[in-house]
Structure 1
């Protein structure tokens, strides 16, 4: 497949974008897909969107220096020797399974010019607690990050501290150690387990003083089981220096949840 593709293409023209969706991979395409992707990568592809339905991911993609947009969905990242994505500005990880938590750290740390990050429904097979001060246990280098949309607990919020716009689906009260100096807008979906509900508002109040430029705070509390009303808190900060009752206006909106009959 890749040989015929190479033969028919004009070698002077780069490939700008490739969207590859494979719902069912069998033994016949097990080798064809990596070979095809490898061929495309050699043509300096800039935008790559891969959905392989929980199949092993061709890891050489993670050293493609021409990539500016990478979207991965329903993939298994088992092992890769190195990561180098010097041109990547947009990264989306959806329903991706990692063998080790350190693989997430390695990928994010290899994107020095990343501007936008989306992560949803990530799974880690061998998850373990690590001390944040140990080398290689935290993400470094996301200095250009502008926007992030994160669902779940496998991406540390501290690595998002340079962002201006955040959307977070929070399920556990993760520790916050860094200042969010550039943050002006944040949208929180607080979906804590009942046993952790006590920490919900303490976590929010811990975030506010770490965000000196915050202008807009939206908090969405999903409805409890069997309820049809969800709560949305919308705060507009008048002052960027203080986060007290005189510096913001908080509006509570009661709305019908479309997912509840």
Structure 2
């Protein structure tokens, strides 16, 4: 697993505390960026920014990470709320900082012999006003361009968040026993090999059968995450099988037996 880069020195303490906690959950759950993306619905590149401290993760991303790692979502979301408030304050301060403007050019002092006649004063005032107006317009244009750069990533993050906040698929266990084999009625009796990071009906079937065997895999959500991995290893150990965390033919046979 690649080493995570140090956080930026200027990062706010509340944001730093949140990012450090998210890194700990990723490490504890032995999650690669690919598995993190598959489990939360956010891309690996987005998680690189979140865990690198260059972008604040959306609330839904933090909640999804808590779900797949078995962490307490209440405490994690409270940390995110504090970090989000600090993050927004920093952005507001950055946007409100005054930008330096060029001083209006001043005419060199004229000697009494070369002083312009009074009729030229309006022309000088008009020139000075045009220069000042141009400087103000350029400053406003730079501000708009910078705000546009800040809004674009936010729009992308919002779009990703809208997709990721869709509720996970739920399954219902219908435990039956036919011809000496247990079934949960989800994957039509398949014994497909599955492992950490897989999703779908085969995982949900295994979760139901693990629960029937008295071992909790977490929720019946069809996601082979840390809790399901721990349940599979516990079952394999009890059944005298090789404890590799993968459900192959022998493990399926023991589950259905």
- Output the TM-score relative to the length of structure 2: 0.19
Q: Which has the higher contact order (CA 8 A, sep 6+)?
A: 2
* Higher helix proportion (structure 1 or 2): 2
Looking at CA atoms only, which structure, 1 or 2, has the larger radius of gyration? 2
- Output the TM-score relative to the length of structure 1: 0.19
* Higher strand proportion (structure 1 or 2): 1
